[in-house]
């Protein structure tokens, strides 16, 4: 009988210890669950912010009034919708090409050589070029070039402005000045 009481006492002590261990474990599980829920909540918030940021940059890229090109290793790898409109060509017809393939002005080789240089040592630059479009209309473009790192590779981000109207106005003004000079010579 004494042994039974001792075993009963040991069993009760063991039960109390198990109950205490169980309570401690439940408390730890609740605490860790709360931490994980907070971590998940924070991660979701960051993901939402990232999506919103990506959407803002996508809208800027797609709605920019200047054309945008990304050139790596002398090859066009990305262009925005404005650039598609300027070239009058589909992205699939431009990506993988060299910019030189679209330039008809005398500086085409100089421009292409710039894109094939070692990016690390070249300063940002700008060029004025003439391109031929699919509709065979020539356009004057100003290229503003910045060196960048894209997908851990060096490259060039090119902002392209259509300056055709300005160039035509300059040509017309030059022609008017020539005619005016001739008229003055004749009158004098």
For residue range 83-117, what is the model confidence (pLDDT) as tens digits?
A: 999 999 999 999 999 999 999 999 998 888 888 87
- Residues 62-71: pLDDT tens digits? 889 999 999 9
| Range from 19-28, 107-116, 153-162 carrying the lowest mean pLDDT | 107-116
pLDDT band at 123 (very low <50, low <70, confident <90, very high): low
Residue 130 CA neighbour count, 13 Å, CB half: 10
The structure tokens 């993901």 sit at 47
Which DSSP string do the residues of 126-164 spell out, in sequence order? EEEEEEE-TTS-EEEEEEEEEEEEETTEEEEEEEEEE-H
Give the length of the chain.
Answer: 188
pLDDT band at 118; cut points 50, 70, 90: low
Coil, strand or helix at 79: strand
**Block residue for tokens 């209309």:** 137
Q: How far is CA 31 from CA 17, 37, 162, 186, in A?
A: 21, 10, 61, 98
Q: What is the pTM of this model?
A: 0.70
Share of the chain above pLDDT 90, in %: 56
pLDDT of residue 29: 94
The pLDDT score that the predictor gives to residue 121 is: 53
* 120, pLDDT greater than 60: no
């Amino acid at each position: 009988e004494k042994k039974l009481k001792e075993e009963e006492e040991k069993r009760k002590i063991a039960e109390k210890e198990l109950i205490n261990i169980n309570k401690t474990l439940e408390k730890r599980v609740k605490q860790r669950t709360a931490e994980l829920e907070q971590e998940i909540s924070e991660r979701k918030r960051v993901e939402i912010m990232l999506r919103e940021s990506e959407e803002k940059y996508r809208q800027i890229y797609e709605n920019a009034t200047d054309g945008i090109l990304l050139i790596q290793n002398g090859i066009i790898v990305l262009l925005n919708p404005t650039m598609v409109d300027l070239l009058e060509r589909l992205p699939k017809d431009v990506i993988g090409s060299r910019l030189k393939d679209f330039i008809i002005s005398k500086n085409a080789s100089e421009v292409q050589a710039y894109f094939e240089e070692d990016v690390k040592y070249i300063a940002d630059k700008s060029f004025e070029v003439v391109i031929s479009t699919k509709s065979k209309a020539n356009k004057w473009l100003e290229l503003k070039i910045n060196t960048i790192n894209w997908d851990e590779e060096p490259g060039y981000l090119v902002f392209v402005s259509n300056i055709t109207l300005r160039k035509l106005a300059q040509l017309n003004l030059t022609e008017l000045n020539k005619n005016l000079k001739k008229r003055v010579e004749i009158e004098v």
